[in-house]
Structure 1
Amino acid sequence: MAAVRFQVATLSVAFALCTAMSNPALAQKTYDSGASDTEIKIGNIMPYSGPASAYAAIGKAEEAYFNKINAEGGINGRKIKFISYDDAYSPPKTVEQARKLVESDNVLLIFGSLGTSTNGAIRKYMNEKKVPQLFVASGASKWNDPKQYPWTMGWQPSYASEAKIYAKYIMKEKPDAKIGVLFQNDDFGKDYLKGLKDGLGDKASMIVMAEPYDTSEPAVDEHVVRLKTAGADVFISITTPKFAAQAIKKAAEINWHPIHIVSNVSTSVGGVIEPAGYEISQGILSASYVKDGSDPQWNADDGMKKFYDFIAQYDPKGNKLDAGVVFGYAAAQTMVKVLQMCGDNLTRDNVMKQAAALKDFAPDTLLPGITINTTPDDFAPIKQLQMMQFKGKAWELFGDIISSDTSH
C-alpha cells in the first residue's frame, strides 16, 4: 500500500509540474515596480489647490472607491495603495510630482491625473520611463496617439468630439447664429475651439469673437462683456468650473441672454450651477456621458443605487450633486476593471495591454447605451455623448446618444 501511495503522490507532483509548465500564468506571478503579492501602488496628481481646485472632488472620490475595493478584499487579494499629490494645476509642479511618484514612491502606474497642460508636461517623461499614464482626466484629442505615445491613454470623450456635437446642434437649431466663444488660453481651450471650427466647417465665420482668458486671472467678467458687445447670440463657454460659474453670473448681471452652451467639464450642479445660481442657469445647454447625481430619474437605476450606497459608506463628504464625484467613481471603476483583467501578471506592459482590450464595459455611472471600448490602435475609451439642458434643479437629457464618429 505504501508503494501505491508513493506512486500516486509521485504522479500528482508530476502532473502539477506539467500543468505549471504548460501554463506560465499558474506557474508564477509577474510584477513590475509598484506591485507585489499584497499591494498595487497607484499614483495620481490632482489640483487640490489653485484655480482648478473644484476638481479635487474627483481625486477624493477615486481614493474612496479604492478604499471600498480594499474593504471588499482588494483586487485578486491585493490592496490598492493610492498616492495622490497636489500640483495646484501648475505644469512644472506636475512634473515634480510625477518624478516623485515614479522614482521615489515606485508606483506601478499613474492614473487619472487631471488637466491638459499638466498631463502634457509629463507625457514624454512617462513614455520614456515606460510607466502607464492611464485614463488621463482631460478630453484632449492628443491622448489618443498609441503609435507615438503607447503609455498614455485618455478616458472621457475628446473636447474636439464634444465641440463638433455643439457645432452640429447650432447649425440645425440656429443656422444664422453669431457665436461668441470664451476659451481657456491653453491646450484645453484651443483643442475645443479647433473642434468647434472643424465642426462648423465652411460656416466657421459664424464665430464673431473668440475671447481667450488665462487661469491666472481672478475673473472673466470683462471677457463676457466683450462677447456681448460683439453681438453674439450664442455663447459657448469653454471654461473650468470656477470661471464657468463666473460667466453665468456675469451674463445675467449684464442682461445678456444668448443660447448658452457650457463645456461638459463644467456641468457640475454642485460645483458650477449651485454657486452661480439656479434661477440664472435655466436653459443652459451642454452634453454628457454620465448620469447626473442630482436627477431623481436615476433613483431607481441599479448603477446609481450602487453609487449612492458608495457615497453613504465610503465618501460621506462627497456631494452627489458634484459631477466630479460621479466622474471619479466611474474612472476608478474602469481602473479596477483593468487591474482585475491583469490577473497575476502585474507588469506595466500588461497593464497597457489590458487597458487597450476593454470591450463594452459599462461603469455604474455612465449613461445607458454608453460603453467603454479600446483597442491597441484606439486609445479613446468613450466616444458618445447626449445633449442636455438645465431645467429646475437638474440637467434634462434630450435627443439621441451621438457618437463622435458620426458628429462630423
Structure 2
Amino acid sequence: MTVGHLSGDRRPFDRGRRALAAVSVVALTASCAGGAVSAPDDDGGSGSGITDRCASYDGTEGITDTSITVGFSGALSGPFAATGAHLWGMQAYFDMVNAAGGVETADGRKRTIELIYKDDHYVASTAKANVQEMIDDKGVFAMLSVIGTSANMAIRPVLDRACVPGLFAGTGSPELGNPDFPWQINGALAPYSAEGLIYADYLSSNFPGGTIAVISQNDDYGRAKFQSLETGLEGSDTTIVEHVTFEVTDPDLSGQITTLAATDADVLVIFALGAQALQLINTVSTRTDWNPQLLTSLLSVGQLESLDPGAGDGLLTTGSIDVDDPANADLPGVADYLEWGAKAMARNKVELPLSASTGGWVVGDLFVQALEQAESLERASVMEAVRDFRPDTGSLIMVPGIVLETGPDDPYLVEGMAIARWNADAGTLDTVETIDLNGQVPYTPLT
C-alpha cells in the first residue's frame, strides 16, 4: 500500500492568476440535497443539525495555526492507476497556494494545505480502510476526491459516523445527492443522471422520430445514465428500440454489438468507460455494416486518437477543454496548471499526460474557495459553504454557457454539458451544442 505526505515549493501566489478550477462541463459537481448544515455556535460548539447524530464531533481536527491536513484515497497502481491522477492535480494546486503562504480563512490567518494519500487499487474495501485510518490515526480535516462510486459508497458510513467532510468525490453517481447522507458531496463529474437527461434532450431535438440502441455497463454507472435517458425521452417520438448491458470484466463485447446492429437503429448510445468504450466503437466499425450515429460518455482526444483507422469519425461525446492542446495555452489558468502540474508529476515520478490530472486541479481550487467562503474554519461550516456554493467563475476554465451553483433545492454544482463531434482528420473535438439543466436535476434513487 502506498502511503505519502505531500507539500510543495513556496513562492508568491498571485490570486489574480488563480488557476484552472474546471476543465470541462463534466468537471465540477457538488451534491447533497436538503437543508443547510448548521455552523458552529459562537461558543465553539457544533450547533444543531447534522452534527447532532455524530458519534463524536471535533469540528477543527486537522487544523493547526499554520496548516490544514486533508486526505485522498484512489488507485495509484494497477490497471486503474490513471484514475488516481487526481492526486497530482490537487497537489499541484496546493503547491501553488502554499507557495504564497497558504489559504486565508475566516479567522484572518493563512494556512498551508497538507495532503496525505493512500493507494486503494480501486478496491472499495481498501478505500474504506484507508479512510478509516486517515481519520482515526492521521486526523484529517476532510477527505478530498475519493475515486469511484463503490469506494464512495463504502466510506459513506465512516464519514457519517465521524462527521468528516467527504468533499468533491471522484464519481458522478447521483447517489451522492442523497439527503440522508449529508457529509459527502459530488465533484469532478456531473451527475450521471444529468448526462442521461442531456443526451435525451439532444436526441429528441436532433433525431425526431429516430430509433435509439443503447449499451451500458451493468452497474450503478450504467444504470443511472440509462434510467435518466429513458426518463428524458418520455413523451418524445424518439424511441429506444434495444438496450443491452455488459460486465466490466467481459473481455469481448462483439455479441452485444451483433444484437444491437440487428435493430439498424439510427443512434447507438454507449455508456461505457475507457478501454471498453473504445472496444465497442472499433467493433461497430470492423465487424458490422451498421453505421449509426455514435453518442458516448466522455472520451478525450488522446483516447479517440487510439481508435482503429476509420472508426468513430463523427461520433458525439462530451466536450471539454484539452489543456494539452497548444491552442488553449493562453486561456486563463492553463499556464499555471501546466507549470505546477508538471512540477508535481516530475517530483513524484509520475508518467501521465498533464491532461490526466486536471480534475484534481479542479478539486483543489474548489476546496480553497470553500475554505474562503466558510463562515468559520470548522467542518460543519465548510459543509454549509459547499451546500450553498457559487464559486468564482472568473478563474474557471470550462465550456461556456454553464452555470455553477448549489443551493437547498439544487444538490449538484454542474448540471450542464457540451456535446462535441470528433473530427478524426483534424484530431479535434468540436462543440456542436451546450445544454444546461441548472437546478433541474433532483436526487432520484436508482431503480
The bucket for the TM-score relative to the shorter chain is 0.7 to 0.9
Q: Which residue of 1 aligns with 2:94?
A: 66
Q: CA deviation at 1:82?
A: 1.3
Deviation at residue 360 of structure 1 after TM alignment: 4.5
Say whether the 8 Å CA contact 2:207–2:238 is kept in structure 1: no
Letter in 1 for 2:402: I
- The CA deviation at 1:297 is 4.6
| RMSD (Å) for aligned C-alpha atoms | 2.8
- On the 8 A contact 2:257/2:284 being kept in 1, the answer is yes
What corresponds to 2:215 in structure 1? 182
Distance 1:103 1:340, change over 3 A: same
C-alpha separation in 2, matches of 1:219 and 1:98: 35
Structure 1 counterpart of 2:84, one-letter code: A
Distance 1:163 1:169 in 2: 10
Contact 1:44 1:113 in 2 (8 A): yes
* Contact 2:282–2:307 under 8 Å retained in 1: yes
> Which of 418, 431, 447 is the equivalent residue of 1:397?
431
User: What is the distance in 1 between the residues matched to 2:330 and 2:381?
Assistant: 37
Aligned partner of residue 33 in structure 1, secondary structure: coil
Q: How many residues align?
A: 374
Q: What SS class does the counterpart of residue 143 from structure 2 fall into?
A: strand
Secondary structure, aligned partner of 2:133:
helix
Contact 2:210 2:237 (C-alpha < 8 Å) held by counterparts? no
Q: 1:90 to 1:312 in 2, by over 3 A?
A: closer
Structure 2 counterpart of 1:357, one-letter code: D
Q: Report which stretch shifted further, 304-313 or 184-193.
A: 304-313
TM-score (norm 2): 0.75
**Conserved in 1, the CA contact under 8 Å of 2:204 and 2:237?**
no
Q: Quote the residue 2:76 is aligned against.
A: 48
Alignment correspondent of 2:291: 257
Shift in CA distance, 204/53, structure 1 to aligned 2, threshold 3 Å: farther
Does 1 or 2 have the higher relative contact order (CA < 8 Å, sep 6+)? Answer: 2
Q: More helix per residue: 1 or 2? A: 1
| Residue type of the alignment partner of 2:386 | A
SS in 1 for 2:205: helix
8 Å CA contact 1:41–1:81 kept in 2: the answer is yes
**Which of 164, 172, 178 is residue 197 of structure 2 equivalent to?**
164
- The separation in 2 between residues aligned to 1:219 and 1:66, in whole angstroms, is 42
TM-score, normalising length: structure 1: 0.82
Q: Residue 139 of structure 1 contacts residue 157 of structure 1 at CA under 8 Å; is this kept in 2?
A: yes
Q: Is the 8 A contact 1:137 1:154 kept in 2?
A: yes
Letter in 2 for 1:93: T
1:51 and 1:212 map into 2 onto residues whose CA distance is 22
How many Å apart are 1:361 and its aligned residue?
2.7
**What are the superposed Cα offsets for residues 207-229 of structure 1, whole Å, 9 maximum, x if unpaired?**
23222222233443443333223
Q: Contact 2:146–2:152 at 8 Å: present in 1 too?
A: yes
Superposition deviation, residue 294 in structure 1? 4.5
Unaligned runs of 5+ in 1: 1-22
Distance 1:186 1:57 in 2: 23
CA distance in 1, matches of 2:243, 2:123: 24
Give the CA deviation at 1:162: 1.3
Alignment partner of 2:185 out of 153, 169, 177: 153
Give the gaps of 5 or more residues in structure 2. 1-41, 45-57, 105-109, 443-447
Letter in 1 for 2:365: Q
- Residue 313 of structure 1 deviates from its aligned partner by 4.1
Matched, 1:349 2:349: no
Q: Find the counterpart in structure 2 of residue 223 from structure 1.
A: 256
Measure, in 1, the Cα distance between the counterparts of 2:332 and 2:235: 45
* Structure having the higher Rg: 1
Question: Does the C-alpha gap of structure 1 residues 222 and 84 become closer, same or farther in structure 2, counting only changes over 3 Å?
Answer: farther
Closer/same/farther in 2, CA of residues 375 and 99 from structure 1, 3 Å limit? same
Using the aligned pairs only, state the percent identity.
Answer: 25
